[in-house]
Amino acid sequence: MVTVSFPDRTWRDDVGPIEGITPVVWDPQASPPGEDVEVFVAPYMAPSDQIAVVADAPTVRLVQLLSAGADVALPVVPQDVAIANAKGVHDAATAELTVGLVLASQRGFDEFARAQAKGEWLPRHFRRGLADHRVLLLGYGSVGRAIAERLAPFEVSLTAVASRARDGDDLVDRVHGIDELAELVPEHDILLSVLPGTDATAGILDDALLAAMPDGALVCNVGRGNALVTEDALRHTGRLRFALDVTDPEPLPSDHPLWSEPGVIISPHTGGVTEAFRPRMVALLREQLRRVAAGDEPLNLVAR
């Protein structure tokens, strides 16, 4: 039998019984259970200190995250303990939010909301929309592809960029390498970042890159906040627009100037927070734990 800890009783009960698995509850903010836990299911969006507790549990051999990103876990999980993420679970919800943020900015929903609060009927004028615009998608993994699928009906011109160039698929003719980014940026009206949080991606959207974007272009970040250099973004507000589900720092302090800059829409890191999350995550956990109980290699292992 493999002992698996869940962050609370609701996760344990929703996953239900699985042959070969002994479920226990371990809230990482409380004392560890008496059992020798082998698989630690972390709370959703847990900070590093709530994952670091596995360093004091020598029997843990797998940390299962409920998020797609693993950046908070990598520095605190011992090297001999495997980490698995929730790849695929958040794709649809994050893609929905991405399209929603882009449409909100392109069509002026933020202006409409402010006007509604004042009972003001704004004059009509032509807005950017999505059709016939050039979109640069930075990050073409499972979330990036989900975004591409949802953008296809909007009749955009889509360019995908990943860490390395490769052949395209049914959605894009070619996937460009990150080394081509500087050349591609000036040719696009909208930049979407779904980059993970790594040393290689930190600060990639800096002053030089933002300066190369056309006037009025939109930067939408739904990946990790530190991909965009906040101080550099502030230098370009007014000329560029920003739609951000993630920020650096995060949470964004209430007195931060980014809140009140023109052309900026901010959502509170809510990309995966829809009703689709729970049943999809439960299904992944059940499959993952069946594999663990059978001695098979876990799904979605994070390379390090």
Residues labelled as active-site residues: 224, 269
Is the Cβ–Cβ distance between 160 and 172 less than 8 Å? yes
Instruction: Please count the other Cβ atoms lying within 10 Å of the Cβ belonging to residue 230.
Output: 18
Bridge-based pairing state of the strands 166-167 and 174-177: antiparallel
Cα-trace Rg, the chain = 21
Q: Looking up tokens 């490769």, which residue turns up?
A: 166
- What is the per-residue DSSP string for 114-181? HHHHTT--PPP-----STT-EEEEE--SHHHHHHHHHHGGGT-EEEEEESS-EE--SS-SEEEEGGGH
- Pull the structure tokens for residue 90: 């958040």
Angle between helices 109-117 and 91-107 (to 10 degrees): 70
